[in-house]
Amino acid sequence: MSWPYSFGMPHIILASQSPRRRQLLSLTGLPFSVEPAEVDESIVDLPDPAANSVQTARLKAQALRRHYAGQEMTGIIVLAADTNVALDNRILGKPLNASHAAEMLRSLCGREHQVYTGMTLIDLSSGQELCAVHEAKVTMRRYNDVEIDAYIAGGDPLDKAGAYGIQHPEFRPVEKLEGCFLGVMGLAVCQLQQMLPLLGLQPRTDFAALEAAHMGFYCPLFQQVSAAK
């Protein structure tokens, strides 16, 4: 890998190829690079969706830790995340195809479900590791089959757990949310804001931009971190 920053300079390696996580991590104002972890996520088969998301995130982070073992990595933090959508405690992964996406969206329509985003942070110099999970309760609006078909035709659901993106500007699937909007998107930045200082990284967050990223949904974690700034 061609390293874009000086070693010893505080820096995050994001172990994800998700453009959404890149977008969300940029809200911290910290320099980062992207290096997806090449792991077989299917080996994590825990039925509990919260534990599953944490263990999958840890699997990714540990893979990069092993990759850089023995190198001088002062100030370098690996960040990995994984998101699970659960309906009646059953994990809904990414849809296999368009018909599977439609089936998922119909099962979620008008109902409450949970979204779990697990995170693992590892300081590559000290080996210190932090794990956390964010749980959000999400209630979907009562969309119809015409809306589902139009949404799927645009391709947005096919790379997302549960077959939806909470942030989609037209479909707007969510009626009610208890938790962090950004956690449902794939990276609970407000929770991350509280974790990074524990590893010696001080975010340089633009709180106006962070608030705007929640798209009008109330976030109790944002209230905490903005009050502590």
The residues that are catalytic are 82
Crossing angle of helices 145-153 and 98-108, in 10° steps, is 140
Return the sign of the alpha-carbon dihedral for residues 67, 70, 76, 78: positive
Distance CA 34, CA 215 (A): 26
Return the sign of the alpha-carbon dihedral for residues 129, 58, 3, 69: positive
Name the nearest CA neighbour of 135 among 195, 176, 184, 82.
184
Tokens representing residue 113 in the block: 């479900």
Long-range contacts of 212-218 (CB under 8 A, 24+ apart): 213/24, 213/27, 213/181, 213/182, 213/189, 214/180, 214/181, 214/182, 215/167, 215/181, 217/174, 217/177, 217/181, 218/177
Distance CA 115, CA 179 (A): 9
